[in-house]
């Protein structure tokens, strides 16, 4: 049976890959986006599809009454997500994760849809434990510059659990760890697009801080597979989605150099404020509930991503 799906932030990096997935599956996709940090190019190929309905609007000011459809799924992916984006749009980030989440929840409530929220590993802040499972409450600076994103997502999670408990709405929360792949903006400031941009321009790779901080990078196709599985499972508490293979930023720079096959060198810069020193998901819950784990290695994923920017 074909499904009807509403995706906020559907023109963004992850949102547009979700639109593709559901359109290719024969479903009907309603996509809302205001292009604050996304790109029309990501959905251009879908605009002519009769199953794809696009609404250019800010979900924090949208009139929910205008959207009177019966959706099977409401997926809330609208939000600036890279540190430089949410530092540039602090108020918008807080609003889209609070007011925007409330509006999307109300749309889901009208037609008793399954609701899914794209939360983040940032809810764990600068973690004091080396692998973060869903039980960990986090170590977040509530007034730091990153708090607009961290606390925005934490508020979103709280609001969703309140709707779940009060209205019995079938809600899902995924905590997405660093994800990469085609369609990330090369200037979005995140480490993988930044390194690719610099490598393409034969410039040294900028490393913020000492480069010993760690991240675990998940390729977009693996993430999309996980998200789709979450929608079908009978579970309403947060689920970590990410790739548990952990690398220091120095190791990532070395991989990029190796793939490009040229000596680029590194340039050390000031650390980002409140930059988490380590990040590695515990995905045992996702493995057990969804029978899912990432399959694409960092090297393979980087090669696919680089191809997208070269062609
Ligand atoms: N980083 C870096 N060089 C860059 C961009 C980022 O060293 O050009 C570092 C950043 O300080 C952080 C890590 O790489 O420690 C991942 O940053 P990103 O912005 O990709 O995502 P985050 O995990 O911080 O949200």
For a mutational test of ligand 1's pocket, the pick from 119, 150, 272, i.e. the residue with the most ligand atoms closer than 8 A to its C-beta, is: 272
CATH number, span 4-180+218-243+281-295:
3.40.50.720
Give catalytic residue positions.
Answer: 149
Bridge partner list, 275: none
CATH class for domain 191-214+246-277+301-310? alpha beta
Element (H, E) at 133: none
Contacts by residues 95-100 (CB-CB < 8 Å, ≥ 24 positions apart) = 95/60, 96/59, 96/60, 96/152, 97/149, 97/152, 97/153, 97/155, 97/156, 98/152, 98/155, 98/156, 98/159, 99/60, 100/8, 100/59, 100/60, 100/76
Residue with the nearest Cα to atom 14 of ligand 1? 191
For the full predicted model, state whether its pTM sits above 0.85: yes
Q: How confident is the prediction along the chain (311 residues), in pLDDT tens digits per residue?
A: 899 999 999 999 999 999 999 999 999 999 999 999 999 999 999 999 999 999 999 999 999 988 989 999 999 999 999 999 999 999 999 999 999 999 999 999 999 999 999 999 999 999 999 999 999 999 999 999 999 999 999 999 999 999 999 999 999 999 999 999 999 999 899 999 999 999 999 999 999 999 999 999 999 999 999 999 999 999 999 999 999 999 999 999 999 999 999 999 999 999 998 899 999 999 999 999 999 999 999 999 999 999 999 87
Determine the Cα–Cα distance for residues 53 and 11; give it in Å rounded to an integer: 12
Q: What residue spans define the domains of the chain?
A: 4-180+218-243+281-295, 191-214+246-277+301-310
- Would you report the helix, strand and coil content of the chain in percent, each value rounded to 5? 40, 20, 40
Instruction: Calculate the alpha carbon distances from 48 to 19, 44, 51, 258 in Å.
Output: 13, 8, 9, 40
CA of 125 to the centre of ligand 1 (A): 14
Residue with the nearest Cα to atom 19 of ligand 1? 190
CA of 288 to the centre of ligand 1 (A): 30
* Pocket lining for ligand 1, CB < 6 angstroms: 82-83, 178, 189-191, 194, 206-208, 213, 215, 249, 272, 275
């Amino acid at each position: 049976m074909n499904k009807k799906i509403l995706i906020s932030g559907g023109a963004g990096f992850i949102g547009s890959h979700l639109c593709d997935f559901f359109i290719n599956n024969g479903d009907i996709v309603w996509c809302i986006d205001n292009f604050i940090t996304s790109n029309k190019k990501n959905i251009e190929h879908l605009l002519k599809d009769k199953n794809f309905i696009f609404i250019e609007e800010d979900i924090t000011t949208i009139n929910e009454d205008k959207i009177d459809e019966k959706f099977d799924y409401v997926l809330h992916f609208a939000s600036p997500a890279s540190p430089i984006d949410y530092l540039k749009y602090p108020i918008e980030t807080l609003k889209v994760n609070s007011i925007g989440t409330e509006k999307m929840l109300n749309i889901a409530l009208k037609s008793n849809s399954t609701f899914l929220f794209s939360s983040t590993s940032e809810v764990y802040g600068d973690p004091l434990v080396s692998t973060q499972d869903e039980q960990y409450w986090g170590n977040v600076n509530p007034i730091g510059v990153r708090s607009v994103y961290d606390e925005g997502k934490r508020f979103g999670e709280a609001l969703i659990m309140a709707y779940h408990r009060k209205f019995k709405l079938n809600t899902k929360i995924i905590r997405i760890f660093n994800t990469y792949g085609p369609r990330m903006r090369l200037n979005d400031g995140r480490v993988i697009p930044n390194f690719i941009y610099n490598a393409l321009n034969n410039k040294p790779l900028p490393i913020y801080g000492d480069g010993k901080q760690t991240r675990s990078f998940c390729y977009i196709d693996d993430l999309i597979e996980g998200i789709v599985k979450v929608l079908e499972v009978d579970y309403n508490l947060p689920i970590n989605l990410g790739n548990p293979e952990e690398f220091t930023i120095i190791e990532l720079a070395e991989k990029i150099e190796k793939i490009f096959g040229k000596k680029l060198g590194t340039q050390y810069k000031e650390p980002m404020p409140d930059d988490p020193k380590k990040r590695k998901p515990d995905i045992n819950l996702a493995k057990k509930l969804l029978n899912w784990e990432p399959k694409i290695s960092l090297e393979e994923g980087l090669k696919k991503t680089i191809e997208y920017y070269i062609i």
